[in-house]
Structure 1
Amino acid sequence: MAQNAKVETELGLKRRARKMNRLLADAYPYAVPELDFENPFELLVATVLSAQTTDVRVNAITPALFARFPDAKAMSQGDRAEIEELIRPTGFYRAKTDSLLGLSAALVERFDGQVPGRLEELVKLPGVGRKTANVVLGNAFGVPGITVDTHFGRLANRFGWTNETDPVKVEFAVGELFEKRDWTMLSHRVVFHGRRVCHARKPACGACVLAKLCPSYGIGEEIPAKAKALLKYELAPGREELLAKMLAGATRRELRAEGYGLDA
């Protein structure tokens, strides 16, 4: 930091962070979990499968997986070779099969096949850490949580919200800046922004709604026309119609089947 640079107070940081969240809310009113799921078990499995791959790839294979193994009991009794073949496109399929078989068996043995709604119980399941647990709690149970994936961690640092790099420390540091009720949606908005605008290698700074509030402005392309060309996502046509359908309870699979672009 330059010697004459203005030092941000704790209150100033909190105010700036919350204003950034409001701007992200305006930019991404449609922010949703990008994994397809219909119940807590499907979300848990999909989140485990999403490690080291894209949500798009996971969404492509889960329909067949859940048609064959719709619940924890069925999956715990599944044939390893069959599960491996079904999830192979997601990568690391042997290790992920170990996790799926292990967590399914644990759900049957400890929770009568149901996914628990408490973090301390979720993180004891094979292959489930705090990130996965917070995804499930926030989106399947309505329990607020901050999900620190690579996008969230990167942007939390760029935004100057924290200097921490350990995911758990980032989670707690960022959590101090926001009301607990905002944690889950904050996670979606930041991840949406990281996938679409604030890329790891070349952020589209000149097309960023947070430009005036971001201490990292200028590390990417500043010229608006060139920055816009870097954007990886445009809001699907008919935003109002999309939002109305979501509020009416349409599932992600139904929306994608109708052509709405919810995937990065």
Structure 2
Amino acid sequence: MTTAPKTTAPRKRAPRQSALTAAEIERFFAALQAETPEPKGELDYVNPYTLLVAVVLSAQATDKGVNRATGPLFKVADTPEKMVALGEEKVREAIKTIGLFNTKAKNVIALSRQLIDHYGSEVPQRRDALETLPGVGRKTANVVLNIAFGQPTIAVDTHLFRVSNRSGLAPGKTPLAVETKLEKLVPLPYRLHAHHWLILHGRYVCIARKPRCPVCVVRDVCKYPDKPL
């Protein structure tokens, strides 16, 4: 009696981390670094607490619009205690030019109270702790950890997500997928500033509708198929 040969299911191939080679990734970040050696975030702040508030307010809003509102606000409320004393109504009035200002005012007061009650009025330096605060998600937490505390986190916003997918650097269907890939791919010397470089590149060069490929410093390694000649 003969038996049919055993068949094994084909192995699923692991998703490719990047369309760029390791050498190309190095050139990618070296070019961004050469263009902007010390990139900075564009939100105004005076301490970790005001940075946290500014990032919470920046959701679905421009940095310039947030800065216009927070300039006067932070002059009178630059600590959790001062913000709570100011009260939700006055916070709401101060940020009324920002989208979703009603919800954001509630979150600012609530997170301030939580900082006072649970963290000695200090901004925690752990992502899991930050994510327990009202209005704070993973992206906000990563921004605060990176800018305020110098941790090599990668905050994936719409600009960074676009650049990572369009260039082939770290393609992914979700912000978390892109973040996870970048954490593995970005060479260590570039890790601290990586998210700033990618966000600024997406904001000013690799823009959504008509990317400025002729002036792009990573044009030679970018895998975007529709680059203009």
TM above 0.5, one fold?
Answer: yes
Matches within 5 A, 1:72-91: 72-91=80-99
Q: What per-residue deviation string (whole Å, max 9, x for no partner) do you get for residues 142-199 of structure 1?
A: 1110010000001000111233121112111111102355333011111111111111
Deviation at 1:64, TM superposition (A): 1.0
Distance in 2, Cα, partners of 1:194 & 1:12 = 18
Residue 174, structure 1, aligned to residue 182, structure 2: yes
Structure with larger Rg:
2
Aligned amino acid, residue 172 of structure 1: T
Counterpart position of 2:197? 189
d(CA) in 2 for partners of 1:34, 1:49: 13
The one of 130, 138, 152 equivalent to 1:130 is 138
- Contact 2:87–2:109 (CA<8 Å) still a contact in 1? no
Counterpart contact for 2:17–2:171, Cα < 8 Å: no
Alpha-carbon distance in 2 for matches of 1:17, 1:98: 42
1:144 to 141, 146, 152: 152
Q: 1:97 to 1:199 in 2, by over 3 A?
A: same
Residue matched to 1:27 = 35
- What is the aligned residue count? 214
Segments of 5+ residues of structure 2 without an aligned counterpart are: 1-15
Distance 1:9 1:189, change over 3 A: closer
1:18 aligns with 2:26: yes
Code of the aligned partner of 2:141: A
Q: Distance in 1 between matches of 2:69 and 2:18?
A: 45
Counterparts in 2 of 1:163 and 1:128: CA distance versus 1, 3 Å: same
Residue identity over aligned pairs, in percent, reads 37
Residue by residue over 1:58-116, the C-alpha shift from the partner in whole angstroms, topping out at 9 and shown as x without a partner, is 11111211122120112123322211110111111001112101110110010111101
Is contact 1:108–1:114 with CA below 8 Å preserved after alignment? yes
Distance 1:11 1:143 in 2: 27
Q: Please name the residue that 1:110 is paired with.
A: 118
Q: Which has the higher contact order (CA 8 A, sep 6+)?
A: 2
Deviating 4+ runs (over 3 angstroms): 8-12
What is the CA–CA distance in structure 2 between the aligned matches of 1:182 and 1:123, rounded to whole Å? Answer: 25
The RMSD of aligned alpha carbons is 1.9
CA distance in structure 1 between the aligned counterparts of 2:55 and 2:18, rounded to whole angstroms? 34
Cα offset, 1:214, TM superposition: 0.7
For normalisation by structure 2, the TM-score amounts to 0.87
2: distance between equivalents of 1:34 and 1:10? Answer: 28
